Structure formats: structure tokens, C-alpha cells
């Protein structure tokens, strides 16, 4: 008996473990382990849980229609997963397990424990890397060290992808008996539905999202056909539908990164779409970059900053400021619109993630970990590697950082990336009546927007303050290192 263990890869397309397991001719069953306590530990947003559970329901139905049984078992957390899997394997007489690798620390520790346990049963484990385009240990600098600067990584990544020249995975060879006459069973469907219903989310939050691989692939092909060519031009403007919105599908694995890459690569041949496609492929490389960083610097998963000296920064502990940031009441319209977008929709545009993260960590000088956590608690695409990477980039504590003297001006960003204030007006209706100029600086028109707060901090002086704080932390670190 062969087992396909689905984890963060809730799809049948572009799924090597499934394809390989089915290639052998032996009977195949599938498994998914629910770990709600792990979700709690990892601050997984309710909306993301909903997306995963709905996608799992679709996966179970698809597998059943193809004659494959899916068993969904409640393991509680990752420790429980080891025991639950071992019992299941023994009970079902499984001889081989096929799954995709996961790279965050807790997932790695779970998999190490699984491997040790299964060895006792003589079960063979086959791991694959469909969650990334280039597996995290593949590329190293000439000195054998991991890349920590994106531009150098990307150059090597491009070469590797060109040399590998990957093609689409063959479709799985479903059992001959599949079809209406021999449907598979979906064990544990009730438990998945109960967990989903227990989330009790308002329709307004879930309605805009379409979980499952069918919707994810449709969204990919729509994006490639209609928007990819203009991606470079519009991707920084949050009022436009300029980006793919595929981060949720990629992070929950309802879409294979390889299929996303191949669709964009085909578009490179079209001169009208070439620039957009090349830029978009660069974003997929960022995704791989942060995964290799997380994998090769596992201390990041324990909360460590990438640059150790930044541990000595004396963050401000201002709860009122943090609360104002969370609620979109900082008095800076684009920051507030972005934070309200996050809470209201479970998603935020990339430019605004950078802006709001920089605002929290530089203007308010609040520890970036608090913001990282708040994002995870709300994002439907919450993903440790990309979120931690994005936060540390913005806070200037990470790899390839925005230099610490770079501080986005919330006013300038607003003029540049939301020139008519259309995005602001959508999420901050108190400002909707202001003209194109005043909407970026409403404090200049206090009589027209009485319900909107004044800025909670001034922009002026932030850069100098942050520079000094980083310099002091660096000096203190060097003294510590020299044992003074
Ligand atoms: C502070 C901060 C936190 C972030 N948290 C997350 C997160 O939890 N989950 C997440 O998936 N992305 C995160 N990102 C990256 C990025 O903002 C989102 O991936 C992007 O906004 C998703 O929109 P999209 O799918 O329309 O992207 P597109 O512009 O269409 O890009 C295509 C895909 O490339 C990947 N990608 C794009 N930009 C980045 C990036 N900077 N880093 C890594 N991958 C990228 C995503 O998978 C995305 O779906 C974060 C960025 C910052 C600055």
C-alpha cells in the first residue's frame, strides 16, 4: 500500500508525490492530518484556516471521484502527528509514503521524528520539493555559503532555472477503476466541516475568496491572459487590480509554483507581455529566496533577527500607538487604509505591507515581531518565510535589508502610489470627500474631516532617530563582542 501525505499542497495538479505514488501500480490512499493546536501556536488567521479547510474539502471530493480514499485525521499538533501517522500506517499496512517537503523549523522537526519512527516499521519515505521552484539547499555562493542578497541569488536562480528547463509534470495516472462505478471514500469529511463551521466567519470576509485548486488555476490563467503584460506598470498601485492575488493559493499549495512559473515563462515569448512576465517571475524568485533564508538560518524561526546587533535596539513599548496602527487610526491615510484593508479583507497589497511594516518599526519604533504576529493573525496568505522576510526587510533587521536610513515617507508614498486617493477613499470613507491633494494630508483640512485623527507621530525627524538608534545598537553589540 502506498500513501500520499498531503500537507501544504492541497491539489492534484503539479503534485509529484501523487503522480509518483500512482505510477507504481500498487493501491494508493491519501492522508491529511489536522493540527488545530499547531495553527493556534503559529497564529494562523481564522480566514486562512477557512481557506485550507475548504480547499481540503475540494481535494477530498476530487480524489474520491478518481477512486482514491482520503483519510482526514485529527492529530492535534505536530507531536500528535507523529503518533497518529505511525498508528495509521500500521493499521493500513502502508509500505511507502510520498509527500512534499516543508522547510520551516517545526515542520522539519516533525518530519525528522516521523522518519525516525517509520524506520522502525520499515516504511520508506519519499520527499519532493513541489513547494518551491529551486529547493532551499540547492544554490550557494562560490564560498559555499547561502545567498543573503537577493540580486545575487536571483542571478544564480535564473541560471539554474534556465539549465533545468523544467516542463509541466505529467497528469497523475489515476487508477483504471476510477469513475462513477468505483468512487473513493472521504473519511473525516464531517470533522473538516465541523472545524470550518466552528470558525463562524462572517460572509463578508469569506465571500471574496474562492478556495481550492480549480479556482486557483482559473485565477492563474485569467491573470496571465489579461493582466500579466501590464504587471510591471500597475503592480505598485493598490487601487488597481495590478497583481495576481495568487499568494493565498501559492502559500496553501492549491497552486503549484511550477505551473505559475511555466505559465509566465510561456508569456515571455509574447513581446507585449515579456516585461510583465519577467518581473512577475522575479516575485516567484523572492518567494524561493525567503524560503532558502528560513531554511538555512533556522534561528529565524525562534524569533531571532537576521542581523544579531539589532537585538539590542531599544524598541518603544507604546500600546496606544500599536493599537492605533492595528486599527488604522495613525492619522496617515495610506497607512490607515492599508491596515483597514488587512483587517477587513484578510489581505494587503505588497507596497502597503512594506509601508505599514516600515511605519510600525521606524515611525513608531515598535518591535517588528508585534507587527509580524498581527499580520499572521489576519492574513489569508500568512506564510512564515515570506512574512518574516518582509518584516525583517522593512525593519532593516534582515537579509538584503532596506538600509536602516531608508524610511518610506507615508505622505510621499501616498502621492506616488495612490495619486487620486482612490484606494484611501475605499477604506477610509471619512476622507472620501477630500480633493486629490488634501486626501494625502488631511490635517491641512481639519474642518472637512472631523472624524479622522491627527497624525500620532511626526514624519520629520524619524530618519535621524532611527539612524541613531541603529548606530547605538551596533556600537553596543561591538562592545559586547569585544567583551568590554
Ligand atoms: C511585511 C511583509 C509581509 C509579507 N507577508 C507575506 C505573507 O505572509 N505571505 C505571502 O505570501 N507573502 C507575504 N509578503 C510578500 C508579498 O507582499 C505578497 O506575496 C504579495 O503581496 C501577494 O500578492 P500577489 O499574490 O498579488 O503578488 P504578485 O505580485 O502577483 O506576486 C506573485 C507571487 O510572488 C510571491 N511574492 C510576491 N512578492 C513577494 C515578496 N516580497 N516576498 C515573497 N514572495 C513574494 C507571492 O507568492 C505572490 O503571490 C509580505 C511582504 C511584506 C513586505
**What is the rounded average pLDDT of the residues 78-85?**
94
Same domain, 222 and 345: no
How much distance in Å is there from the Cα of 383 to the middle of ligand 1? 9
- Any idea what the CATH number is for the domain that residue 230 is in? 1.25.40.80
Q: Whose CA is nearest to atom 48 of ligand 1?
A: 247
Q: What digits encode the pLDDT tens for the residues 252-263?
A: 999 999 999 999
Q: Residue 84: give the domain boundaries.
A: 1-130
Same domain, 292 and 312: no
Structural domain includes residue 188: no
Give the position, in ligand 1's atom list, of the atom nearest the Cα of 284. 34
**Cβ–ligand 1 contact at 240 (below 6 Å):** no
Q: What digits encode the pLDDT tens for the residues 334-386?
A: 999 999 999 999 999 999 999 999 999 999 999 999 999 999 999 999 999 99
* pLDDT in the model for residue 270: 85
Phi, psi of 413 (to 5 degrees): -60, -35
Give the position, in ligand 1's atom list, of the atom nearest the Cα of 248. 11
From 45, 131, 283, the mutation candidate for ligand 1 (largest count of ligand atoms within 8 A of CB) is 283
Q: Are 309 and 480 in contact (CB under 8 A)?
A: no
Same domain, 286 and 152: yes
What does each C-alpha distance from 204 to 47, 200, 342, 345 come to in angstroms? 11, 12, 13, 8
Domain termination site, one of 266, 296, 326: 296
**Cβ–ligand 1 contact at 291 (below 6 Å):** no
**What is the rounded average pLDDT of the residues 159-179?**
86
How much distance in Å is there from the Cα of 298 to the middle of ligand 1? 21
* pLDDT in the model for residue 179: 53
Helix axes 274-296, 384-395, angle to 10 degrees: 90
Give the position, in ligand 1's atom list, of the atom nearest the Cα of 393. 53
Same domain, 136 and 258: yes
Structural domain includes residue 302: no
Whether 178 shows a pLDDT value over 60: the answer reads: no
What does each C-alpha distance from 417 to 61, 279, 350, 387, 413 come to in angstroms? 43, 18, 12, 22, 6
- Any idea what the CATH number is for the domain that residue 86 is in? 3.40.50.620
Same domain, 111 and 156: no
* pLDDT in the model for residue 484: 64
Print burial letters for 302-329: b (CB count within 10 Å at least 16), e (below 16).
eeebbbebbebbeeeeeeebbebbbebb
Structural domain includes residue 200: no
* pLDDT in the model for residue 404: 65
Same domain, 292 and 440: no
Q: Whose CA is nearest to atom 21 of ligand 1?
A: 350
Instruction: Give the 3-state secondary structure percentages of the chain, helix then strand then coil, rounded to 5.
Output: 55, 5, 40
Q: What digits encode the pLDDT tens for the residues 200-254?
A: 899 999 999 999 999 999 999 999 999 999 999 999 999 999 999 999 999 999 9
* pLDDT in the model for residue 63: 97
Residues designated catalytic: 283, 286, 315, 350, 368, 391
Same domain, 250 and 362: no
* pLDDT in the model for residue 105: 92
- The total of structural domains in the chain comes to 3
- Kindly indicate the confidence band of residue 177, based on its pLDDT and cuts at 50, 70 and 90: low
Same domain, 333 and 410: yes
Q: Is 381 annotated as a binding residue?
A: yes
Same domain, 347 and 402: yes
Same domain, 136 and 260: yes
Residue 20, helix vs strand vs coil: helix
Same domain, 256 and 332: no
Give the position, in ligand 1's atom list, of the atom nearest the Cα of 246. 25
Grid coordinates belonging to 121: 516499521
Domain termination site, one of 130, 155, 183: 130
The residue behind cell 518582509 is: 390
How much distance in Å is there from the Cα of 23 to the middle of ligand 1? 35
**What is the rounded average pLDDT of the residues 325-334?**
98
Q: Is 246 annotated as a binding residue?
A: yes
- Any idea what the CATH number is for the domain that residue 473 is in? 1.10.579.10
Question: Comparing C-alpha atoms, which of 390, 130, 413 is closest to residue 283?
Answer: 390
Structural domain includes residue 195: no
**Cβ–ligand 1 contact at 286 (below 6 Å):** yes
Amino acid at each position: 500500500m502506498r500513501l500520499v501525505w498531503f500537507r501544504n499542497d492541497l491539489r492534484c495538479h503539479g503534485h509529484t508525490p501523487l503522480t509518483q505514488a500512482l505510477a507504481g501500480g500498487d493501491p494508493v490512499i491519501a492522508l491529511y492530518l489536522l493540527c488545530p493546536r499547531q495553527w493556534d501556536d503559529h497564529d494562523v488567521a481564522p480566514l486562512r484556516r477557512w481557506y485550507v479547510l475548504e480547499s481540503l474539502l475540494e481535494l477530498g471530493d476530487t480524489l474520491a471521484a478518481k477512486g482514491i480514499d482520503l483519510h482526514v485525521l485529527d492529530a492535534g499538533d505536530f507531536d500528535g502527528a507523529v503518533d497518529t501517522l505511525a498508528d495509521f500506517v500500521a493499521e493500513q499496512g502502508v509500505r511507502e509514503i510520498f509527500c512534499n517537503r516543508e522547510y520551516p523549523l517545526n515542520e522539519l522537526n516533525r518530519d525528522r521524528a516521523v522518519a525516525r519512527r517509520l524506520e522502525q516499521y520499515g516504511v520508506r519515505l519519499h520527499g519532493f520539493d513541489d513547494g518551491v521552484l529551486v529547493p532551499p539547499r540547492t544554490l550557494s555562493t562560490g564560498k559555499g555559503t547561502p545567498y543573503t542578497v537577493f540580486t545575487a541569488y536571483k542571478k544564480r536562480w535564473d541560471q539554474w532555472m534556465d539549465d533545468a528547463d523544467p516542463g509541466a509534470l505529467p497528469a497523475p495516472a489515476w487508477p483504471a477503476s476510477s469513475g462513477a462505478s468505483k468512487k473513493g471514500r472521504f473519511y473525516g469529511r464531517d470533522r473538516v466541516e465541523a472545524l470550518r463551521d466552528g470558525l463562524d466567519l462572517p460572509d463578508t470576509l469569506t465571500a471574496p475568496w474562492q478556495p481550492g485548486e480549480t479556482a486557483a488555476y482559473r485565477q492563474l490563467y485569467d491573470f496571465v491572459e489579461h493582466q500579466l503584460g501590464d504587471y510591471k506598470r500597475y503592480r505598485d498601485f493598490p487601487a488597481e487590480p495590478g497583481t495576481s492575488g495568487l499568494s493565498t493559493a501559492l502559500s496553501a499549495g492549491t497552486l503549484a509554483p511550477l505551473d505559475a512559473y511555466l505559465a509566465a515563462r510561456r508569456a515571455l515569448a509574447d513581446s507585449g507581455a515579456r516585461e510583465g512576465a519577467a518581473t512577475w517571475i522575479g516575485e516567484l524568485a523572492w518567494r524561493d529566496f525567503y524560503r532558502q533564508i528560513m531554511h538555512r538560518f533556522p534561528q529565524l524561526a525562534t524569533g531571532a533577527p537576521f542581523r544579531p546587533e539589532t537585538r539590542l535596539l531599544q524598541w518603544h513599548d507604546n500600546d496606544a500607538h500599536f493599537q492605533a496602527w492595528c486599527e488604522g487610526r495613525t492619522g496617515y491615510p495610506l497607512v490607515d487604509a492599508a491596515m483597514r484593508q488587512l483587517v477587513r479583507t484578510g489581505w494587503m497589497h505588497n507596497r502597503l505591507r512594506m509601508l505599514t511594516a516600515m511605519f510600525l518599526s521606524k515611525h513608531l519604533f515598535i518591535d517588528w515581531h508585534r507587527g509580524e504576529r498581527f499580520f499572521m493573525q489576519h492574513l489569508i496568505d500568512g506564510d512564515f518565510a515570506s512574512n518574516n522576510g518582509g518584516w525583517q526587510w522593512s525593519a532593516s533587521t534582515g537579509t538584503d535589508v532596506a538600509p536602516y536610513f531608508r524610511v518610506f515617507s507615508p505622505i510621499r508614498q501616498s502621492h506616488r502610489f495612490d495619486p487620486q486617493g482612490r484606494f484611501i477613499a475605499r477604506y477610509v470613507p471619512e476622507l472620501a470627500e477630500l480633493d486629490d491633494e488634501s486626501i494625502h494630508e488631511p490635517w491641512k483640512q481639519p474642518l472637512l474631516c472631523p472624524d479622522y485623527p491627527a497624525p500620532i507621530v511626526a514624519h520629520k525627524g524619524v530618519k535621524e532617530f532611527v539612524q541613531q538608534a541603529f548606530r547605538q545598537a551596533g556600537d553596543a553589540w561591538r562592545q559586547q563582542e569585544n567583551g568590554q
